[in-house]
Amino acid sequence: MSDAVQALLNGVPLAESLLSSRGLHYGDGVFRTLLKYNGQLLDYKLQFLKLAHDAQALGLEPPATELLLAEAVSVSAGAASGVVKILLLRSGAGRGYAPRTDQADRLVLAYPLPAYPAEHWQQGISAFRCGLRLGRQPALAGIKHLNRLEQVLASRDWPDGAAEGILCDERGAPVCGTRSNLFWIEAGRLHTPALDGCGVAGMMRDKVLACATALGLEVRIESRPWSKLLDADEAFVSNSLIGIWPLRALEQRVWPAPGPLTLRLMSVLRHPYTAT
């Protein structure tokens, strides 16, 4: 990623490999966040499959699974548990939007494990409805790409005590959390919004859907009005780090959390945070 460019960062000359990255300049890349727990990179095969899917959606060649795994293991070798974030950034420096290659640079980062309160799993979380509505862009819907300004703006006015914000589409239908996928249960059926216009399809969403069908639950993947979420019998959010957080409170609605079907799904998911 070398470049003949001159650069100052806060006034100091800078010669960095990321300086001209299309990831920085355009967000031209995709990412996944993995949980490492007790030395294991959880669900890395499914994570890499989804990373490859998203890369291909942007016209990027996904790296070999063995290479990604080796780098994820290496970068996180210092800690038995933590977070590994893998970014694929379209290679090549220079200016101009038109992509000149399908090659991707791999940026693999290791972070400490976030310290979430145990109550989030045991008693559920309070969530709020974000003021910002997600724009509709079918070409990017569902993809975990690096253009995340909507999530940043939606997270600006975060109420005290809330652990997640729920995002709606432009018609006001719920889509997902700022960093999670959204589910609710109505009359024994599991509902989750379709992600064909906006939203991000997390790895844990796939796992929750798989667990639900394994449990014999009927599953509906479709856009539904906000009122359907508030009227639900149970609701929860999911992502790869938290597994499932039951929703306890959202606007005027209060649920017993975790609800009975949420609890069954949590138990089948066997996420390390809830299994311990």
Subset of 67-106 contacting a second copy (CB under 8 A): 67, 70-71, 74-76, 78, 83, 85, 87, 90, 95-99, 105-106
11 lies in the site for a second copy, by CB under 8 A: yes
Under rule CB under 8 A, how many of the chain's residues touch a second copy?
74
Task: Decide if 34 contacts 44 (C-beta within 8 A).
Answer: yes
64 lies in the site for a second copy, by CB under 8 A: no
Quick one: which of 51, 58, 235, 269 contacts a second copy (CB under 8 A)? 58
Quick one: which of 42, 110, 125, 190 contacts a second copy (CB under 8 A)? 110
Distance in angstroms (rounded) separating the CA atoms of residues 183 and 190:
7
- Between CA 175 and CA 118, with CA 191 as vertex, the angle to 5 degrees is 80
115 lies in the site for a second copy, by CB under 8 A: no
Distance in angstroms (rounded) separating the CA atoms of residues 91 and 101:
7
DSSP code for 222: S
- Encoded one letter per residue, x for contact with a second copy by CB under 8 A and - for no contact, window 136-155 reads xx-xx----xxxxxxxxxxx
| Closer residue to a second copy (CB): 111 or 221 | 111
Name the phi and psi angles at 205, rounded to 5: -60, -45
240 lies in the site for a second copy, by CB under 8 A: no
Residue of 251, 149, 162 whose CA lies nearest to 198? 149
179 lies in the site for a second copy, by CB under 8 A: yes
- Between CA 102 and CA 15, with CA 29 as vertex, the angle to 5 degrees is 95
Quick one: which of 142, 159, 178, 216 contacts a second copy (CB under 8 A)? 178
Quick one: which of 25, 45, 171, 270 contacts a second copy (CB under 8 A)? 25
161 lies in the site for a second copy, by CB under 8 A: no
| Closer residue to a second copy (CB): 17 or 227 | 17
Half-sphere exposure of residue 132: CA atoms within 13 angstroms, side-chain side: 20
Distance in angstroms (rounded) separating the CA atoms of residues 4 and 242:
43
Which listed range, 22-30, 36-44, 202-210, 250-258, lies at the site for a second copy (CB under 8 A)?
22-30
| Closer residue to a second copy (CB): 172 or 256 | 172
Which of positions 197-226 make contact with a second copy (CB under 8 A)? 198
Task: Decide if 170 contacts 129 (C-beta within 8 A).
Answer: no
Distance in angstroms (rounded) separating the CA atoms of residues 106 and 272:
27
**Least Å from the CB of residue 41 to a second copy:** 14
Give the pair of three-digit tokens for residue 80: 């038995």
